[in-house]
Amino acid sequence: MHRNPFDKPSETSRLSGFAKAVVALLVLAAVVTIGGLIALWPSGERPQIPAHLEITLGAGSELVAGSVLSVAAGPCGSPSANKVFADKPALPAQQIAECPQTIVDISSGPDAGQRTLLVITPGPGQPELAVGDDIRLSRSVGFDGETAYNFEDFRRSAPLLLWALAAGIVVCAVGAWRGFRALVGVGVALAVIVGFLLPSLLDGRSPVALALVAGSAILFVVLYLAHGVSLRTSAALFGTLSALVLAAVLSWLAIETTMITGLAEDNSATIQAFMGEVSVTGLLLAGFIIGSLGVLNDVTISQAATVFELAGVDKDLTVRQLFGTAMRVGRDHIASMVYTLVLAYAGASLPLLIIFSVSQRSLGEVLTSDVVAVELVRSIVGAIAVVLAVPLTTLVAALLTRGTDSAVLAAGPSHQH
């Protein structure tokens, strides 16, 4: 039976004055976060989507399941193309040439059990269908009342679920109970983003306030859930929240000074054109803030753990010695995280970089273009936030380990089973 350092007055009284101040600030941050969730909670009303945007997004089409029965060449101009039929597609009046024909069995929706014919010409961006492929079809009804089917996407539910299960098994097998709690934390984070952040953004609320509140809520739940309630976790949480606010300020300054808009990205341009109540610049800023959560959490947890382990091994180390020793580890972490950030964004942008590499533009023109500058600024802001989070978390953790009863320190995650 392990004691929670925050659940009994007798335990709280054994905390140092600095530890009590940190706990009080975290409690205040939790209250502000809850208040922000209440104040910014989405209205639940479905956003008014302009008709043009619905057409662009295909919102007026119903998606149904299908399975590819055959892929072969057949006479071009079949009247059964994209239409519903029971057995075989109808032949055209004149057979001039042959075209690739894909017969698909419709397995859901009003026409389940029927078939449709897709004519997909091979080329860049076109799907390569094979017999047995599970696909999604978009079903639409025209003004004449006729139903038309078109290829929408592949159905990936089963393989994605298998990969997710494999990842979950590996995490739980290696991370044991803490790994399972980390997976639960991932679910909570996704629930906050999908259930709170996105609908509130569609309500037209401040993206920056939403990102800070959502990020704070995620951090409180995920850190304490995955790592347990302890001074060690509290040190990491304090450092992460501080760095998160810093990242928000840095992101705002960077966007203002570099004048990036994010409009070079197609989805942002669509939002700007059809959903004027949603600020694209605000979305860009919110994306910077939310995107920094994972890497900040990683470095702060590592630094807090390093300090507390050092303090447990040598109880005679001063705050200065703890800070100096842990920072030697932290500097290695900083180096790895900085190039990890840059390489991660470069890897995600490889198709874009290839396009620019053949565009006959100079390196300076490429790097300062809006679409590339967004990723550069994102990397720079993330790197600065990570670098500053390391000494801040290290100092807070070092101060927490000194002047606090050793029995309270021993209630950390390293002693939990």
Tokens representing 99 are: 């075209």
Tens of pLDDT, residue by residue over 184-240, are 988 998 999 989 988 888 888 888 889 899 999 999 998 998 888 888 899 999 999
Q: Are residues 318 and 247 in the same domain?
A: yes
Domain-located, residue 356 = yes
Question: Which of these, 300, 302, 238, lies nearest to 22 by C-alpha position?
Answer: 238
Separation of alpha carbons 102 and 119, rounded Å: 6
Q: Are residues 123 and 190 in the same domain?
A: no
Which of helix, strand or coil describes residue 400?
A: helix
Residue 138 backbone dihedrals phi, psi, to 5 degrees: -95, 130
Whether 382 and 349 have beta carbons less than 8 Å apart is answered as no
* pLDDT, the chain, mean: 80
Domain-located, residue 164 = no
Separation of alpha carbons 239 and 395, rounded Å: 9
Q: Are residues 234 and 90 in the same domain?
A: no
Which range (66-75, 96-105, 406-415) has the least confidence?
406-415
Confidence (pTM):
0.74
Judged against a pLDDT cut of 90, whether residue 89 lies above it is answered with no
Whether 394 and 303 have beta carbons less than 8 Å apart is answered as yes
Judged against a pLDDT cut of 70, whether residue 413 lies above it is answered with no
Identity of residue 267: N
User: Could you tell me which residues come within 8 angstroms of residue 126 by beta carbon, excluding any fewer than 6 positions away?
Assistant: 120
Domain-located, residue 183 = yes
Model pLDDT, residue 176: 85
Model pLDDT, residue 247: 85
Q: Are residues 248 and 369 in the same domain?
A: yes
DSSP E strand boundaries for 94-168: 98-106, 115-118, 134-141, 147-154
Compute the average pLDDT of residues 40-63: 67
Q: Computed over its alpha carbons, how large is the radius of gyration of the chain?
A: 28
Q: Which residue, 157, 189, 216, sits at the end of a domain?
A: 157
Judged against a pLDDT cut of 70, whether residue 266 lies above it is answered with no
Residue matched to tokens 């942002």: 268
Judged against a pLDDT cut of 90, whether residue 31 lies above it is answered with yes
Separation of alpha carbons 170 and 173, rounded Å: 5
Q: Are residues 254 and 372 in the same domain?
A: yes
Q: Are residues 36 and 103 in the same domain?
A: no
Q: Are residues 36 and 76 in the same domain?
A: no
Domain-located, residue 181 = yes
Tokens representing 81 are: 């193309």
Q: Are residues 394 and 265 in the same domain?
A: yes
Write the burial class of residue 359 (CB in 10 Å: 0-12 exposed, 13-18 middle, 19+ buried). exposed
Judged against a pLDDT cut of 50, whether residue 406 lies above it is answered with no
Q: Which residue, 132, 157, 182, sits at the end of a domain?
A: 157
Q: How many domains does the chain have?
A: 2
Model pLDDT, residue 206: 84
Give the confidence band of 267 by pLDDT, cuts at 50, 70, 90. low
Residue matched to tokens 């939990």: 416
Q: Report the residue count for the chain.
A: 417
Q: Which residue, 131, 157, 183, sits at the end of a domain?
A: 157
How many CB atoms sit inside 10 A of residue 260's CB?
23
- Domain span at residue 329 reads 9-40+174-415
* DSSP labels, 167-191: HHHHHHHHHHHHHHHHHHHHHHHHH
Q: Are residues 83 and 19 in the same domain?
A: no
What does the buried/exposed string (b/e) look like for 137-168 if buried means 16 or more CB atoms within 10 Å of the residue's CB? bbbeeeeeeebbbebbeebeeeeeeeeeeeee
User: Could you tell me which residues come within 8 angstroms of residue 326 by beta carbon, excluding any fewer than 6 positions away?
Assistant: 303, 306, 307, 310, 394, 397, 398
Separation of alpha carbons 82 and 98, rounded Å: 17
Give the confidence band of 76 by pLDDT, cuts at 50, 70, 90. confident
- HSE-up of 92 (CA within 13 Å, CB side)? 12
Domain-located, residue 114 = yes
Tokens representing 415 are: 């002693």
Would the CA dihedral through 169, 171, 177, 181 be positive or negative?
negative
Tens of pLDDT, residue by residue over 365-386, are 766 777 777 777 877 887 888 8
Domain-located, residue 169 = no
Q: Are residues 292 and 355 in the same domain?
A: yes
Model pLDDT, residue 255: 81
Model pLDDT, residue 144: 77
Q: Are residues 205 and 262 in the same domain?
A: yes
Tens of pLDDT, residue by residue over 299-348, are 888 899 999 988 888 888 888 888 999 998 888 878 777 777 777 766 76
Separation of alpha carbons 277 and 45, rounded Å: 15
Residue 357 backbone dihedrals phi, psi, to 5 degrees: -65, -25
Question: Which of these, 335, 327, 44, 59, lies nearest to 195 by C-alpha position?
Answer: 44
Model pLDDT, residue 354: 74
Domain-located, residue 97 = yes
Edge-to-edge strand ranges of the sheet holding 98-106: 84-85, 115-118, 98-106, 62-75, 134-141, 147-154
Tens of pLDDT, residue by residue over 108-164, are 989 899 999 999 888 777 888 999 999 999 888 877 778 899 998 899 988 999 999
Give the confidence band of 356 by pLDDT, cuts at 50, 70, 90. low
Residue matched to tokens 């599970």: 134
Separation of alpha carbons 104 and 111, rounded Å: 12
Domain-located, residue 305 = yes
Q: Are residues 149 and 33 in the same domain?
A: no
The more confident residue out of 376 and 64 is 64
